[in-house]
Structure 1
Amino acid sequence: MIGYLFQCELALLELAERSWDDPAAEVRMEVLDDIEFLHGSGTPAELLQSKHRSEAGQLSETGKDFWRSVASWIDALKKIGNPGVESMPLLRLVTTQVAAEGTFYYLLRRGPGRDVSAALARMEEVAAADGPKTTAEERKLYLELSPSQRYQFVDALVISDGSPVMSDLDSSLARAMGIRVNQQDAVLDQIKGWWYRVAVQLLERKDPARQRASVSAQELLCRLDEVSDQFAGENLPITEELRRLTAAEIDAYHDDLVVKQMRWIGLKDRAIATYLRDYHHARAQRSEWLRTFKITEEGLADYEQRLWDEWDHIFVDLTDDLDDESEEADKRSVGKNVLSKTMDKVADEPARLGSTTVGWVGRGTMHSLADRADPDEGPGWHPDFSSLCRNRANEQEK
C-alpha cells in the first residue's frame, strides 16, 4: 500500500521539481508506465518506474524490480511505435534502494561517472546468465532486442537511487514547492488533499465524466498560489476594464435566466443594465483567471460556494415570514431586498481567502450563479423562484 502512495506522491514531487523550469510539463499515471511526463506532445518524454522499499538496502542486478521494469518499458515503447534516437523517451527508475559501486545501476546514474557502454556490457552479461528463473522471461525479452536497440535502450536509462522513503517525502515536497518551514504542514495538507483527488481522476478508467488525461505543472503552481495566499494575502489581478455595456450586449442577455430572475422581482431596465455590467465583466475576469492559471476550477468552485452560502442565509431570513397567501407585490419587495442585501454581502467576499477582490467580481459572480440556478437550491431573488424556474424550464422544453 505504501508503494502505491509513494507512486502518487512521487508524481507530485517530480511535477513540482519540473515546475521551476517547465511549467507546461504534464504528468499522467498508469497509462504506459507508473508515471509519465509529457512536454508539449502526446508522446511521453519520460517513462518513470517507482520502487519503494522501506528497508532500503542495495539494488540487485538480478532483482525483479528492475527486470520487470525493463519488460514494462519494452512493451510501452512498442505501443508508441519504437521511437528512434531523436524521440526516445527517458526511461527512469526511481528507487529507495541504493546502487552499489561496480554494478550497471551505478554506471547508469546521472553525473560524471555515467558510462553507457560499460553498463550495456554488464547488463547483457547479467541478462544472458542462467539464473534466476524469477526474471528469466524479462531478461530474454531484453536480449531479443537488436544490438542497436539494446544500446538505445540503455542510453535512455537513468537510475535515480536513494530516493527518500515515503515517511521522508514531505520535506522534499516542501523544498520543491518553495514552502516556508513555518507553513509546511498546513500548506502540504491542503496541496496533498487536492492532489489525491486529482490522482483519482488520473486513475479513473470507467467513467469519462470523472477522468482527466493529465495535470500540468502550471496547474500545480496555481493551486500552490491559492493555498499559500491564504497565509500571504496576495490578491488576484484585475485585468478587466469596467465599462457600460452597449445596447446590443444587454439585448443579448434578454432571454437568459439571469435577466428573468431580475424581471420576476420587478426590476426596471436601468437597474438590470447595471447588474448585467457586473455579470458581463465578472464572467470575463473569471475566464481570464482560469485561462492564465491564476485560479483553479476547484478554487473558483470554493469561491462560488461561499457566495451561495451568504445568499442562503439572507434568503431564508427575509422570506421566513411569507406564506402562500402573501401578495405578489410583497413578494417582489422582499425579492428586491434579498438581491440588495446579497449584493452588499458578496461584494466583500474575496475570490481567494486572505486577499481582497473588487466588489463587481462578487456581485457579477452571484448573478452567474443565478443564471444557472437549481430550482431546488438557488440562488434566486423572488421568494417563489423555485416554481418560476421550473415553469420556465417546462416552457422551454415545449
Structure 2
Amino acid sequence: MAGHGAAGPAAGYLYQTDWALVDLLRKGHTRPDQAITLELHDDVAWSEVDEAGDPVELLQVKLHLKSTSAGLGDMAVDMWKTLKVWMDRTDVGDPQGPELSLVTTSVAPEGTAAYALRPATRDADLALQRLLAAAEDSTNAETQASREAFLGLAASVRSTLLNRIRVLDGQLPVEDLDVAIRESLTWGLPSGGAEAENSFVAQVWHYWHRVALDMLAGRRRSISVTQVSSWVRDLRDRYTTENLPTTVPLNSVTDEHIQFYDGARFVIQLDLIDYASNALRTAIIDYHRAITQETEWLSDSLLDVQELRTFEDELRFEWTREFETMVQDLELDALSPEDAEAVKRKAGRGLLNYLLRSTAVSVRKHYHEGFYARGKRHELAGHDDEAQRIGWHPDFVERLEALATGA
C-alpha cells in the first residue's frame, strides 16, 4: 500500500520536471537571456542569467490524473497551498515582484477565483471576492493556516498578490509532453525518418533528465536557454551524413556486462599477447559499447549496412598492412623458444596499441568517438569467419586453431 501512496507524488515530480523542458523550449526564443531552475525559488522558475539570478516568474506545477477540475475550487487544498507558498515570500506585497503562475492539468470551473485569474478571463477583483468568501466560510483544517494568512494580509497586499497571479489551467497531460517536445523541435529534427526522430527526441529527454537531476541534487543551480539551445544544435549536427550520435555512454557498461565476455574469442586474442588487468577491462568496455552502439544505429536507420561493411574493410586493410610489417620485423633466429615467444607477445601488444590509437579510419568523417573504432577492432578479432578475422599475436591463426581443436 505504501507504494501506491508514493505513486501520486512521484508522478507529480516527474511531470513538473518534464513540463519545465516543454516550457523552456516553447518560450526560449523570447527569453534568450533567462534560465530555468527546479525546486530553487519554486517548483519551476524563470530567472535572469546573472550573478543574482533573480526570479522573474515562479511556477507551481500541479498534475491531476483523475478529476478535470481538481484543485481549482475556491476552497480546494491545492489552491490554498499554492497561495501559502507565495504569501510566505518576502516580496508578497511587491508589485514589481516575479510573476506567479499556477500551472495545472485541471480546468478551472467557470465562476471560481481560478477561472477569474486565467489570462483569457481575467478579473482580479472577482477572484479576490471569491477567495475572501472561501477564506471566511471554509472549515477545512488543512487549509486553515493558508486562509488565516490570506485574511491577515493588508488589503493592498492581497490586491497586489492577486494582480501578479495567473492560472494556466488545462495544461498538457503527461502523455502529450513528448509530442510537445517534437513540435517545439520541429525545425531541428534530423532527417532520416521516424527512427532518427525518435532517437533524437530520446536523447533530448535523456539530457534533460540528467540536467534536472543535477539541479534537484544541488549540483547545479540552473540551466540557461542558451545552454540548452547550444546542446540541441550540437546534437542535431551529429545526425548528418558525416556524423553520428553517441547514445551509449561509458557509465552504461556494468561489471555484469564485462564478466559476460569471459572466454570470448576477442578476449582470448588479448590473452595471447598478455593484455591483462586494467587494459583488458578497458578493451572489453570498448567492445561492448561499440557493438551496442552499432546495434542502435542500425535499428534507428542512422547507419547503412553497406557503410558499415566499408568501414570494417578499411579497418581490416589497415590491420593487414601493419600486421605484415610487424611479422617481417621480428628477429627470432638467435632466440630460445621462450624468448621468441616473449618477443612475439610484445610485438603483438605493440601492434594492438598502435592500432587502438590510430584515427586514420573512421566510420564517418566527423565522428571521432575513439571507443567505436577500438571496439570494432576487437570485434573483428573475434569474428566467426576466419577469413574476416584479424589478430595481434604473430601466430594467432595457429594458436586459435589449436585451442579450438584442443591440440
Superposition TM-score tier, normalisation by shorter sequence = 0.5 to 0.7
Partner of 1:341: 355
Match of 1:165 in 2: 173
Q: Which residue of 1 aligns with 2:185?
A: 177
Superposition RMSD in Å: 4.1
Q: Secondary structure at the match of 1:99?
A: coil
Question: What amino acid does structure 1 have at the position aligned with 2:217?
Answer: E
CA distance in 1, matches of 2:58, 2:173: 20
Q: 1:332 to 1:321 in 2, by over 3 A?
A: closer
TM-score, length-normalised on structure 1? 0.58
* Residue type at the aligned position of 2:355: K
Which residue of 89, 109, 114 maps to 1:105?
A: 114
Report the residue type matching 1:19 in the other structure.
Answer: G
- Give the Cα separation in 1 of the matches to 2:162 and 2:360: 60
Alpha-carbon distance in 1 for matches of 2:17, 2:86: 19
Q: CA contact under 8 A between 2:273 and 2:346: conserved in structure 1?
A: no
Tell me the CA shift for residue 71 of structure 1.
Answer: 0.7
Deviations 1:276-327 (A, max 9, x none): xxxxxxxxxxxxxxxxxxx9xx99x87xx9xxxxxxxxxx999866569979
Per the TM alignment, residue 62 of structure 1 is displaced from its structure 2 partner at its CA by: 0.9
Residue 6 of structure 1: how far off its partner (Å): 0.8
Query: 1:319 and 1:29, CA in 2 relative to 1: closer, same or farther beyond 3 A?
Result: same
Q: CA deviation at 1:20?
A: 2.0
Q: Which is further off, 164-173 or 89-98?
A: 164-173
Displacement after TM superposition at 1:74 (Å):
1.9
- Matching residue of 1:152: 160
The Cα of 1:104 is off from its aligned counterpart by: 1.9
Say if 1:17 and 1:177, in contact at 8 Å, map to a contact too.
Answer: no
User: Is 1:70 paired with 2:83?
Assistant: yes
| Residue number in structure 2 paired with 1:3 | 12
Alpha carbons of 1:184 and 1:128: their partners in 2 closer, same or farther (altered >3 Å)? Answer: farther
Shift in alpha-carbon separation, 1:116–1:337, aligned structure 2, 3 A: same
Q: Indicate conservation of the 8 Å contact 2:58/2:100, yes or no.
A: yes
Task: Give the match's secondary structure for 2:79.
Answer: helix
Give the aligned residue type for 2:161: F
User: Which segments of 5 or more consecutive residues in structure 1 lack a partner in the other structure?
Assistant: 206-210, 237-294, 306-315, 367-398
**Superposition map of 1:194-209 within 5 A:** 194-204=207-217
Distance in 2 (CA, whole Å) between partners of 1:171 and 1:224 is 17
Q: 2:150 aligns with which of 142, 150, 155?
A: 142
Q: Give the letter for the 2:184 counterpart.
A: A
Counterpart position of 1:121: 129
Contact 2:272–2:345 (8 Å) recurs in 1: no
Which one of 48, 52, 65 corresponds to residue 39 of structure 1?
48
Q: Hey, what's the Cα distance between the residues in 2 that align with 1:150 and 1:64?
A: 19
Residue number in structure 2 paired with 1:55? 66
Deviations 1:316-352 (A, max 9, x none): 99986656997999999878756653454x35558xx
Give the Å deviation of 1:4.
1.8
How many residue pairs get aligned? The number is: 283
- The CA deviation at 1:234 is 7.3
Alpha-carbon distance in structure 2 between the residues aligned to 1:163 and 1:38:
22
**Structure 1 residue 28 corresponds to structure 2 residue 28:** no
Other structure's SS at 1:201 match: helix
- Does structure 1 residue 192 correspond to structure 2 residue 208? no
Q: Aligned partners of 2:144 and 2:78: how far apart in 1?
A: 13
- Matched residue SS, 2:209: helix
Cα distance in 2, alignment partners of residues 349 and 140 from structure 1: 69
Q: Which stretch shows the higher mean deviation, 16-25 or 43-52?
A: 16-25
Correspondences of 1:1-398 after superposition (within 5 Å): 1=7, 2-40=11-49, 41-58=52-69, 59-75=72-88, 77-78=89-90, 84-86=94-96, 88-111=97-120, 113-178=121-186, 180=189, 182=194, 183-204=196-217, 211-233=219-241, 341-344=355-358, 346=359, 349=362, 356-357=365-366
Structure 1 residue 83: Cα displacement: 7.0
Match of residue 396 from structure 1: none
* One-letter amino acid of the structure 1 residue matched with residue 232 of structure 2: L
Query: Could you tell me how far apart the structure 1 residues matched to 2:146 and 2:211 are?
Result: 33
Counterpart-to-counterpart distance in 1, 2:139 and 2:197 = 47
Percent identity of equivalent pairs: 27
Is the deviation greater in 59-68 or in 40-49?
40-49
* Cα drift, residue 203 of structure 1: 1.4
> Higher Cα Rg: structure 1 or 2?
2
2:399 counterpart residue number = none
Judging changes above 3 Å, is the alpha-carbon distance between structure 1 residues 121 and 326 closer, same or farther for their aligned structure 2 residues? farther
CA contact (8 A) 2:243 2:367 kept: no
Confirm or deny: 8 A CA contact 1:33 1:73 kept in the other structure.
no
Tell me: CA distance 1:51–1:229, structure 2 relative to 1, closer, same or farther (3 Å).
same
Unpaired segments of 5 or more residues in structure 2?
1-6, 254-266, 276-337, 375-407
Contact kept, 8 Å, 1:108 with 1:157, in 2: the verdict is yes
CA displacement at 1:38 relative to structure 2: 1.1
Cα distance, 1:341–1:122 mapped onto 2, change above 3 Å: same
Change (3 A) 1:160 1:335: same
Cα contact 1:318–1:338 (8 A) shared by 2: no
Query: What is the DSSP-based 3-state SS (H/G/I as helix, E as strand, rest coil) of the residue aligned with 2:355?
Result: helix
Partner-residue secondary structure (3-state), 1:26? strand
